[in-house]
Copies of this chain bind each other. A is one copy, B any other.
Amino acid sequence: MEKEISQAVIRRMPRYYRYLGELIDAGAERISSNDLSARMNVTASQIRQDLNNFGGFGQQGYGYNVKHLHEEIGKILGLCEMHSIIIIGAGNLGQALANYSDFEKFGFTIAALFDVNPRLKGRKIRGIEIHMLDELEAFTCRYKADIAALTLPKSQADAVANRLVDLGITAIWNFAHVDLDLADQNVIVENVHLSDSLMQLSYNIAKKKNA
C-alpha cells in the first residue's frame, strides 16, 4: 500500500512522538509546524516533508491537532501493538534496561532476562526474573517474545543471535559492540552504538573551540 520510507525519516518519528506527548501533557491542543520546528530544532519544511510521507495530517492555517498527530505517529511506529522483550545478558546494561519502566508506556513489556552467571539465577529486577541462558529454548517455547535485546559481550553476540533466529525471534535490539550481520536471515536488527552519540558530542566540542 505505501511507498518505501527512508530510515532517516523513521529515525525522526520517535522524536516527534516524544515531543507531541510532552505537548499533550502540557495541555496543548494544536501546534503549527513552525512552533514544532522551533521546539524540535528541525526546519518546518522538514517536518512537513516527513509527515507528508504518511499523508500529511496538517491543515493549512490550523497546524496540527496534537492528540491526533500523536496517535497517528504512534500507529505508524507500531506502538498500538504490544511488544514483548527478552533481555540476553543481565549485567549492568541489561539490568539498566530492565529498570527502565518508561518502555512500558510505549507498549514494550520486558518478559525476562537471561544470563550465564549462576549467581544471578532467579534474581529479580523490578519483578522481572533472571533465567539461565540454557533455559532460553524452553522459555521461548511457552512464552512468545518478539524482541530480544542483546546486552552481552561482543564475543558471544553472534552465536546467541543465531540461536534467537532459530527460535523465530522477530527482531534483535543489539547493544553488543559489534554490528550483527543477519541480513540474509529473516530478522530485523537495530544496532545501538552508544559511542556514536559521544562522537557527535565530540564534534560539537571541536566546532565550538574553533568558532
Contact = CB atoms under 8 A, between A and B. Distances in A.
B11 A204 contact: no
Given A92-B93, A205-B171, A205-B188, A198 B108 contact: yes
This chain: copies in complex = 2
A172 B91 CA distance: 25
Interface stretch (A72-80, A132-140, A158-166): A72-80
Interface string A159-184: 00000000000110100010100000
A14 B7 CA distance: 17
Contacts of A65: none
A177 B14 contact: no
Interface residues of A, dominant DSSP: helix
Nearest to A80: B206
A1 B206 CA distance: 13
Interface of A: 1, 7-8, 10-11, 13-15, 17-18, 76-79, 81, 83, 91-93, 95-97, 99-100, 102-103, 106-108, 146-147, 170-171, 173, 177, 179, 188, 190, 192-208, 210
